[in-house]
Homo-oligomer: A and B are copies of this chain.
Amino acid sequence: MSLKHGILGLLNYGPTTGYDLDKIFKGSLNFFWQSQTSQIYRELRAMEGQGWISAEIVVQQDKPNKNIFTLTASGKEELQRWLMHDSIGDDIKVRDPFLVKLFFSGEINAEANIETMQRFKQCCQYALKKINETKKHVEDAYDGDKNSVYWEMTASFGHYYYEMCILWADECIMKLERLK
């Protein structure tokens, strides 16, 4: 249920093509929601059928034709409804395949698990760097925009999250070292 609404939210900033939406998506929401390009196109068609957005075809000679999608009144309403609707019970979930795997890692040797945790840590360090850049960019470029506080909050989450992961990884590595 989130992708459709994610797209509604993005289209609310202005009409766009599926292609551009995909890029915008990958550069923003992608930090906390993932989607294949193909799914974005399909959802766009579904949303069109639902009347939440309308498509305008722009014929191009040198490139494939564009479909420019615009939020309709009904789509705007749905966005509002979704935003207002309390769904914390449904939405607050950790769903993390890495932890699932770790849960069973007693089956394989501690050596290998230490290496895995080290790679995990490196990934988090990289992600932290990325999110901090984004955070800085939002703070500098959009300061004062009515949305910027919310963008900052999500970026902050990412910052704290990866920072926490790094500390946790260190603790795990220490525990595993002691096992040997």
Contact = CB atoms under 8 A, between A and B. Distances in A.
A67 interface: no
A156 interface: yes
Contact of A104 (B12, B113, B145): B12
Interface residues of A, number: 71
Interface string A105-147: 1111000110010011001100100000000000000000111
A101 interface: yes
B119 A88 contact: yes
Contact of A95 (B12, B32, B127): B32
A40 interface: no
A137 B158 CA distance: 30
Contacts of A124: 92
Interface stretch (A15-23, A42-50, A55-63, A168-176): A168-176
Interface string A81-99: 0111011111111111111
A12 to B, nearest CB: 7
A10 to B, nearest CB: 8
Question: Which of A32, A103, A148, A160 has the most C-beta atoms of chain B within 10 angstroms of its own C-beta?
Answer: A103
A167 B160 contact: yes
A74 interface: no
23 contacts: A1-B97, A6-B100, A29-B100, A32-B94, A33-B95, A83-B101, A83-B104, A86-B119, A88-B98, A90-B97, A92-B127, A94-B161, A102-B150, A102-B154, A103-B151, A106-B145, A106-B146, A149-B179, A152-B175, A153-B172, A157-B168, A160-B168, A161-B161
